[in-house]
Amino acid sequence: MKKLVYIVRHGQTEYNLLKKVQGSGVDSSLNDFGERQAQAFFEAYKAESFDKIYASKLQRSYQSVKQFEKLGYEIQRFEELNEISWGIHEGKSPSIKMKQNWTILQNAWDSGDYTAKIEGGESANDLAERLWEFVKSEIYGNSFNKILVCSHGRSIRALMCTLLNLPLSDMNKFEHHNLNLYLVEIDSNNKARLLKENCIEHLPKELIKDLSH
């Protein structure tokens, strides 16, 4: 039997609004705008009969789907779904040096060097390896047919590559907004098909902002 995996990014935080780097080391909360985005997603998808709902260990992820607890769901939280660690850049505003470091890192990943990382942070390989542990146990390793997963921008990009069997150099093909949705169908052989990509049709126009940091 085919299974459906609904993958959403967390709603807006003040760090998103101020374009500050978050990563796994900044446990920020949703701001009012993000709470409204979460409510809009809940209203659009509350009638879905999810078998399981997952979030990362970070507050902004859990807060984005916690409304579903009102319907009796237990949200299971996994550290494997946390955002990538951006090391020395976490919690900081963009700077010339940061942009230089990011360009070097991105060029390395684009060329296939997935071991490259920001000082003190995680590499693309580090991220993909822990996401793979989640995929094996919770997506491939159970009989759930409809799953909701709430994670983070870079983590979702790596997760999509994992599910669709793409190289990590394709990560940036998967764009994201706060509280966007990717919908993936997975068959009995774990072959995935993308049904919805960066979908924000559940958000009213006043709740759409392109703040992806």
pLDDT tens, residue by residue, 101-158: 999 999 999 999 999 999 999 999 999 999 999 999 999 999 899 999 999 999 999 9
- List Cα–Cα distances, 6 to 60, 94, 144, in angstroms: 17, 31, 12
Task: For helices 124-134 and 153-163, give the axis angle rounded to 10 degrees.
Answer: 70
From first to last of the 213 residues of the chain, give the pLDDT tens digit: 799 999 999 999 999 999 999 999 999 999 999 999 999 999 999 999 999 999 999 999 999 999 999 999 999 999 999 999 999 999 999 999 999 999 999 999 999 999 999 999 999 999 999 999 999 999 999 989 999 999 999 999 999 999 999 999 999 999 999 999 999 999 999 999 999 999 999 999 999 875 444
CA distance 121 to 143: 34
Q: CA nearest 189: which of 6, 5, 1?
A: 1
CA angle 76, 80, 78 (to 5 degrees): 15
Q: Is 154 helix (H, G, I), strand (E, B) or coil?
A: helix
The mean pLDDT of the chain is 95
Judge contact between 66 and 75, C-beta under 8 A. Answer: yes
Number of H helices, E strands in the chain: 6, 6
- List Cα–Cα distances, 4 to 23, 81, 123, 161, 173, in angstroms: 27, 18, 29, 16, 21
Neighbours of 32 (CB within 10 A): 10
Percent residues over pLDDT 70 in the chain: 98
Q: Helix/strand/coil (H, E, C) string of 106-130?
A: HHHHHCCCCCCECCCCCEHHHHHHH
* pTM of this structure: 0.95
What six digits make up the tokens of 179? 């509280």
Q: How many residues does the chain have?
A: 213
The number of angstroms, rounded, from the C-alpha of 197 to the middle of its chain's C-alpha atoms is 13
Q: Which domains does the chain have, with CATH numbers?
A: 3-207 (3.40.50.1240)
